[in-house]
Amino acid sequence: MKRFRFHDSPVLNVQMPLWRSRLVLVLMLLGFLAIVAKALYLQGLSNDFLQQQGERRYEKTLVLPATRGKIFDRTGQVVLASSVPARAIWTVPEDAQNATPEQLGELARLLEMPLEDIRARLANLSRNFVYIKRQVSVETAQKIAKLKIPGIHQQAEVRRFYPEGGMTAHIVGFTNIEDRGIEGVELAFDHLLSGEPGTRRVIRDRLGRVVEDVQAAIPPVHGKDLYLSIDAGVQYDLFSALESARVKNKAAAAAGVVIDVKTGEILALANLPTYDPNEGANRQGKSLRNRAMVDTFEPGSIMKPFTVALALDLGRVRPDTKFDTGNGKYRYQGAVISDVSRNGVVDVGGILRRSSNIGMTMISERLTSQEMWTKFTELGFGRAPNANFPGVAEGRLRPWERWRPIERATMAYGYGLSASLLQVAHAYTAFARDGDMVSLTLVRRQGKPTSVQVFSPQVASTVRAMLDEAAGRDGATLAQVQAYRVAGKSGTARKLVNGKYSTKQYRSSFVGFAPVSDPRIVVAISIDEPHAGVYYGGRVAAPVFSEVVASSLRRLGVQPDAPLEPVLAAGPDDGAPR
């Protein structure tokens, strides 16, 4: 048998064509170049793609939100604001493409959103986290979960809840969707209420679920609770009285303030129209305005007691000083000053009781512009009161050097300057106390309040007696309260419209305090643009004052200081602007 050596094999001796070996070499080279090109593409040219894919699973620092503090009334029994559980509804758009039209329609219905808005959010396929709606109630979120919509997820969060709604809206304010205060007390004390958030470093998967903790979490420091000076009962009484008065008088707006004379605490503050802070859609327009603090107006006759007190304090007049106001018309500095009725010869107390503009003009002639400006400034006019509240108005009080003699006269009876209702109420605490103005606060006060002496105790007592008469049998009788002596002054001011004083638009007001023997509260009421046929402060605002004083003193447990007898009905002159 013939033996062949291995290298002599006919198969192995067949020589491969040169082109075939070169083809193999070229194919190998092309494959290598393709691998290199792909690597370069992935490393340098497709960074966005890699970033997107990397974000499906990554390390992240989570913020652990602090629970916002509650807001209470002064008793601590009534919650004015608290944080309640809520849910944020979000989506991974790519995963939600398999949702059926029926599922999306039901989702839109439950969230009270247009279906088009939801479809627009789901169309953003380049993102892997899109909010659909935040601060959804837990009940609604549970219904959504039962739909089992692919790509639709939930995460826990909180939303602010205001149990008293519009009644305390202008005091408490509200927060934004990030739980930061943007109005009212929520804004003023945001640093105290919000606390400090904690942190947690984790690794999450593409659905946002935590897979692993990287390090120990830093817990949040929760916000502190806040106790306001507001008495929920007094607040309710004030709000209800204003609401009824606004309807009865067909008024555009109404506002009121109740201040504790002893402590300077604001027990109640209400405005109409109002809004529901729980409904975001209602947080707009004129209803947001805190009229008692922000709106300024020419006070009119409620300024007269301050001019009288200044003249008494400087010794320019005595309580029994007589003035002849004539027949109700008085020509002064080229203008005619008018009274509603002929008052003839009256003393200083009579000028207040009869609300005589002529009498106030005659008193102002015994004062200088600088003296009036200085005292009005001491009383807080022309500067914002320190009341722990954002946006409080300072009003307008022009420098005395620019006053003309006629302006000195008009400012004596409340025209030519502007102030907020809170400023006027604050100034009246000087008459309710011993001539000193107590500092204001919206927070429950701890310790003794500070005060500033603006009149002597004797002058304060004298004016207090005059205001007692002004709200008595011969004055604004509708301000009287059974079993309590009240003191105060009504005002009826024409509003400026297009630079001229209107004969159809008025602001009716009444400011006073009670009980006269030992004052406990100052109450200020303003009714803006009443259109029910009567507009004088003695008829429109005085009854509201009476109602609020009566309910407030009883709630506060203040002992009566007058015999229980029928309150006098309004007399024929009670329509006067007193």
Residue 385, SS3? coil
If asked whether residues 218 and 276 sit together in one domain, one would say no
Residue 532: partners with Cβ closer than 8 Å, 6 or more residues away: 248, 249, 250
Phi-psi region of 499 (alpha: psi -120 to 50; beta: other; left: phi over 0): left
If asked whether residues 514 and 418 sit together in one domain, one would say yes
Of the candidates 432, 439, 448, 450, the residue with the CA atom closest to the CA atom of residue 388 = 439
Percentage of residues of the chain with pLDDT beyond 70: 89
Residue 29, SS3? helix
The number of angstroms, rounded, from the C-alpha of 37 to the middle of its chain's C-alpha atoms is 63
pLDDT at position 62: 72
pLDDT at position 44: 60
Selecting among 83, 229, 301, 418, the annotated active-site residue is 301
Euclidean distance between CA atoms 396 and 296, whole angstroms:
8
Would you say 361 and 412 are in contact if contact means Cβ atoms under 8 Å apart?
A: yes
Tell me which of 433 and 38 has the higher pLDDT: 433
Mean pLDDT lowest for which of 206-210, 491-495, 554-558? 206-210
Euclidean distance between CA atoms 243 and 203, whole angstroms:
56
Tell me which of 448 and 52 has the higher pLDDT: 448
Q: Taking the CA of residue 453 as centre, how many other CA atoms within 13 Å lie in the half-sphere pointing to its CB?
A: 6
If asked whether residues 274 and 178 sit together in one domain, one would say no
Would you say 561 and 516 are in contact if contact means Cβ atoms under 8 Å apart?
A: yes
Residue 11: partners with Cβ closer than 8 Å, 6 or more residues away: none
The DSSP call for residue 439 is P
If asked whether residues 355 and 236 sit together in one domain, one would say yes
- Residue 122 belongs to domain spanning: 62-227
If asked whether residues 220 and 302 sit together in one domain, one would say no
pLDDT band at 572 (very low <50, low <70, confident <90, very high): very low
Q: Please confirm whether the linkage preceding 273 is cis (ω < 30° from 0).
A: yes
pLDDT at position 356: 95
Euclidean distance between CA atoms 560 and 481, whole angstroms:
10
Q: Taking the CA of residue 60 as centre, how many other CA atoms within 13 Å lie in the half-sphere pointing to its CB?
A: 16
Confirm whether 102 is domain-assigned.
Answer: yes
The DSSP call for residue 45 is I
Instruction: Please say if the pLDDT value at position 291 is more than 50.
Output: yes
pLDDT band at 10 (very low <50, low <70, confident <90, very high): low
Residue 353: partners with Cβ closer than 8 Å, 6 or more residues away: 466, 469, 470, 474, 475, 578
pLDDT at position 573: 45
Confirm whether 292 is domain-assigned.
Answer: yes
pLDDT band at 216 (very low <50, low <70, confident <90, very high): confident
If asked whether residues 295 and 366 sit together in one domain, one would say yes
Confirm whether 82 is domain-assigned.
Answer: yes
Confirm whether 574 is domain-assigned.
Answer: no
pLDDT at position 60: 73
Of the candidates 227, 256, 278, which is a domain's last residue?
227
Confirm whether 340 is domain-assigned.
Answer: yes
- Tally the domains of the chain: 2
301 is catalytic: yes
The DSSP call for residue 218 is B
Instruction: Please say if the pLDDT value at position 11 is more than 60.
Output: no
If asked whether residues 206 and 323 sit together in one domain, one would say no
Instruction: Please say if the pLDDT value at position 296 is more than 60.
Output: yes
**Mean pLDDT confidence for 316-342:** 93
pLDDT band at 501 (very low <50, low <70, confident <90, very high): confident
Confirm whether 376 is domain-assigned.
Answer: yes
Of the candidates 180, 202, 227, which is a domain's last residue?
227
Euclidean distance between CA atoms 254 and 526, whole angstroms:
6
If asked whether residues 239 and 376 sit together in one domain, one would say yes
**Mean pLDDT confidence for 179-188:** 94
Residue 179: partners with Cβ closer than 8 Å, 6 or more residues away: 65, 68, 83, 158, 159, 160, 194
pLDDT band at 129 (very low <50, low <70, confident <90, very high): confident
Buried b (16+ CB within 10 A) or exposed e, 370-384: ebbbebbebbbbbeb
Instruction: Please say if the pLDDT value at position 348 is more than 90.
Output: yes
pLDDT at position 217: 81
Of 275-279, 341-345, 375-379, which has the strongest mean pLDDT? Answer: 375-379
Q: Name the amino acid, one letter, at 556.
A: L
Confirm whether 391 is domain-assigned.
Answer: yes
Residue 390: partners with Cβ closer than 8 Å, 6 or more residues away: 183, 184, 187, 188
Euclidean distance between CA atoms 578 and 568, whole angstroms:
17
Instruction: Please say if the pLDDT value at position 3 is more than 60.
Output: no
The tokens of 364 are what? 């102002």
Would you say 173 and 181 are in contact if contact means Cβ atoms under 8 Å apart?
A: yes
Of the candidates 227, 256, 275, which is a domain's last residue?
227
If asked whether residues 157 and 269 sit together in one domain, one would say no
Would you say 176 and 158 are in contact if contact means Cβ atoms under 8 Å apart?
A: no
pLDDT at position 226: 97
Instruction: Please say if the pLDDT value at position 552 is more than 60.
Output: yes
Q: Name the amino acid, one letter, at 246.
A: R
**What are the tens digits of pLDDT across the range 416-463?**
999 999 999 999 999 999 999 999 999 999 999 999 999 999 999 999
Of 104-113, 380-389, 482-491, which has the strongest mean pLDDT? Answer: 482-491
Mean pLDDT over the full length of the chain: 89
- How many residues are there in the chain? 578
Euclidean distance between CA atoms 282 and 55, whole angstroms:
39
The tokens of 388 are what? 């722990």
The DSSP call for residue 288 is G
Count the neighbouring beta carbons within 10 Å of the beta carbon of residue 560: 15
Would you say 487 and 514 are in contact if contact means Cβ atoms under 8 Å apart?
A: yes
pLDDT at position 563: 81
pTM, two decimals, is 0.84
pLDDT band at 8 (very low <50, low <70, confident <90, very high): low
Q: What is the CATH number of the domain that holds 222?
A: 3.90.1310.10
For 484-509, the three-class secondary structure string (H helix, E strand, C coil) is ECCEEEEEEEEEEECCEEEEEEEEEE
pLDDT at position 578: 46
Q: Name the amino acid, one letter, at 560.
A: P
Tokens 């107006």 sit at which residue? 297
If asked whether residues 137 and 173 sit together in one domain, one would say yes
Instruction: Please say if the pLDDT value at position 498 is more than 90.
Output: no
For 312-379, the three-class secondary structure string (H helix, E strand, C coil) is HHCCCCCCCCEEECCCCEEEECCEEEECCCCCCEEEHHHHHHHCCHHHHHHHHCCCCHHHHHHHHHHC
**What are the tens digits of pLDDT across the range 230-288?**
999 999 999 999 999 999 999 999 999 999 999 999 999 999 999 999 987 777 788 99
Instruction: Please say if the pLDDT value at position 574 is more than 50.
Output: no
**Mean pLDDT confidence for 296-322:** 97
Would you say 193 and 208 are in contact if contact means Cβ atoms under 8 Å apart?
A: no
Tokens 């007589």 sit at which residue? 322
Tokens 């006053």 sit at which residue? 403
Q: What is the CATH number of the domain that holds 515?
A: 3.40.710.10
